[in-house]
Chain A
Amino acid sequence: MSPNDYLALLMFAVACGALMYGYGVAFTLGGVSLVFAAIGVFTGQFDASIFLNLPGRVFPLITRDILMAVPLFVFMGVMLEKSRIAEDLLEAMGDLFGNLRGGLGISVILVGALLAASTGIVGATVVTMGLLSLPTMLKRGYAPSLASGSIAASGTLGQIIPPSIVLVILGDQLSNAYQEAQRSHGLTGEGVVSVGDLFAGALLPGLILVMLYALYIAVVAILKPKMAPATGWDKDVHMGRFIRRTLAAMLPPLLLIMAVLGSILSGYATPTRGAALGALGAILLAGYKLADDNASIRRLIVFATLGLIALIAVDLTGVDMRFNQDGWAINERLAVTAALAFSGLALLGTAAALIYLKGHGQLADVSRSTMYITSMVFVILIGATMFSLVFRGFGGDELVGRMLSSAPGGAVGALILVMIVMFFLGFFLDFIEITFVIVPLVAPPLMAMGMDPIWLGILMALNLQTSFLTPPFGFALFYLRGVAPPEVTTTALYKGVIPFIGIQIFVILLVAFFPEIATSLPQIMSG
């Protein structure tokens, strides 16, 4: 190993150590790498002119179309959360399944999977779920270990279930890595990897996880009824009203998330556009939910929603409605007129919802949170870019490539090595940082060894998700501990997640040995 290699490795170690002190992650990554670059320049090991590339690398990051999906999905998630739609959904599910043993636990898993999908930042999701559902579960007699375990696990589900922002970022990084592998690692073969592909690939493994989680709770509820009791319905409940209330709480957010996902997976919209439509839907839902004192605004929003649905229905009939065409047939004229009217309705309702939300402060609130999360993500991206630039300046990428190719066991050995490293990094860093720093380094050589990029991405995502659940350092546990009431002991928390870790490992192995679980759906989608 050359002195440069030592510097590169030392820089990595120092950065990990410095992060522990708790200064902003982005600035620590960037700053530490610059300190090492200075040392390198001083000892003549490092060429500072490499930094001239820096603006040219940073600028495209913040203007890349696909990454615009991040603020949009965050906006959608924060809007659903702040307007308490998420809370209602959980309550409604709990009521619906409450008379089954383990029913509440299963609804927590389902809601976690659905809602976490739109935010996907481990900390935020686990904290929200913990605050919302942990007290309810304990009140209804769930064992603290089972309750906290299922919340921590379902909080991390949001990373793997599309549309999640971590998949957007991972997909972007993987597609860069794939091009890199084709360019400089001699990978032959056509094709690109898109975020949509990764969404499609993650769908099946994600659903398997949800099913197994729910199955586990059901089994516990049957074997040890005391741990997950049935809550039962109130006797004097009016059945029709109950069903209506439950449907009203459940259907709209369910439909919204399914519509967003469907439009992306079917190729109707790019992830960015799907996310924008999702955010628009969230504005309408929140406006309807919160404007319960203002019937006319509610009516406008309902019309807008119907207008949007009708618009899509008209479009799906396949009538040609492009403005710049010759020879308008009569049905085309009709369709365009109707579609324009529907668009007008939608615009009007959106305006009404926005004005209401602005007047009552929620819009400012949601926008501010979204701005914070977005800036945080992208500033980390900038810091990680500096870090990898310096790491490459020291020849660290070649070092990683050499280490991987000399790993015992060939490609499989290299993959296992990467997985183990990522697993341990997951104790200290969030998904986003790991994706930005590690994936560009390890993914090109691995892909050059012939690994399917989607398969690799899903394995990484599952692996990190498991890491966040693993005691004693798992992120999810740490955040849940922060919001859990004192009667939930840390031991109970640790005991509660162990079965879920088992499920995770099982699914990782399943995907590892049967890559079709991850790769078949993207192949079908792309035809």
Chain B
Amino acid sequence: MIATLLFALFIITMLLGVPIGASLGLAGAAAIALANSQTQWFGLLAVPQNFYAGLGKYPLLAIPMFVLVGSIFDRSGVAARLVNFATAIVGRGPGMLPLITIAVAMFMGGISGSGPATAAAVGGVMIAAMTKAGYPKAYSASVVGAAAATDILIPPSVAFIVYSVLVPGASVPALFAAGMVPGILVGLALIGPAVWLARKHGMGKSEADLPRPPLLKSFIESIWGLLAPVVILGGMRMGWFTPTEAAVVAVFYGLFVGMVIHRTMTWRDLFPILKESGELSAVILIVVALAGIFAFSLSTLAVIDPITQAIVNSGLGEYGVLTLVVLLLVVAGMFLDGISIFLIFVPLLWPLMQHYHWDTVWFGVLLTLMVAMGQFTPPMAVNLMVSCRIAGVSMETTVRWVMPLVLAMGVVVLMVIVWPQLALWLPQALGF
């Protein structure tokens, strides 16, 4: 009864456009008060306690720092130089620019922790270049949006940090390592349809006429960008820094490159960068904190176990249930953003994971794959939103180009479900 009210209140207020954090917090508080109507203050002291405890976790500090890294590298001029270097390697020709877009987005994924930041950095360079070479803008926006989705899979990744805070036993380094192979697979899977579409529709005819940058010069210019993932991922792998510290080292590295080497930034640019990344982090963190209240009320009401039992005994079998979960996430991904999906669904799915002995790291990669796919599947597609705005096209025009890319990614999701070792091999080999 109270549980029904909890979910009804949450879903109705959320659909009415109330901030998701407020919906979670109010529904949680209402359920706690009704369940403890006999006790002093209705047990509501648990509300600020869970709010504070939900935020007061050191690993969460990696979120504002990686958001800051994304904002700084966005303006550091690294993306443009990486594009030049990639062009010098693969050369010019129809279908080469989309390939370069995907490769550079994957590489930027090894620096920044969020998809939209990469979409902005890569889109800012590539969409103009692709338009000049004769690719339709809607197609370019689709490729950039899809390519940037590899970002939250390829470490570092804000999504994995949130997941690791929610799931005991899934450490950030293990998740980071587990995302690597699936992230690269997604990138490779996207290249196929992207190049095929370009060839089939005769795009980029004038690309071959553009000059090819000299190899050595472009390599030297891009060396600072090429070294960034080495510093971040290598430093974590060698045990030099925790993920949070790796992010901070990347912040100062990015500032040095942007201000001293490439001179694309000044001191004055630093203030808006700090403010916007603080604001974005707060918008994420406040939902994390308020979702703590919701999760607490779920656990005290003990509603998840009966639901889990009903699902487990429904005769669907392990793969039937997994299919259902994936379909549920596809639908949720159409309306909800990635962070909210984690915060709402991980507590609900946790008993299922335990019952079927699903590996928590593998399941985290699967959830993140679904979120990444949602980031470029219209109508609610944050990466596409960014790339469409840069290209100056509406999201509707991208649908015909995006769908083959979504399908290609769906194949990778299936592969990771069928062969969990694709995700789990690297963390085991590295000993996490």
| A, B co-complexed | no
Give the B-binding residues of A (Cβ under 8 A).
Answer: none
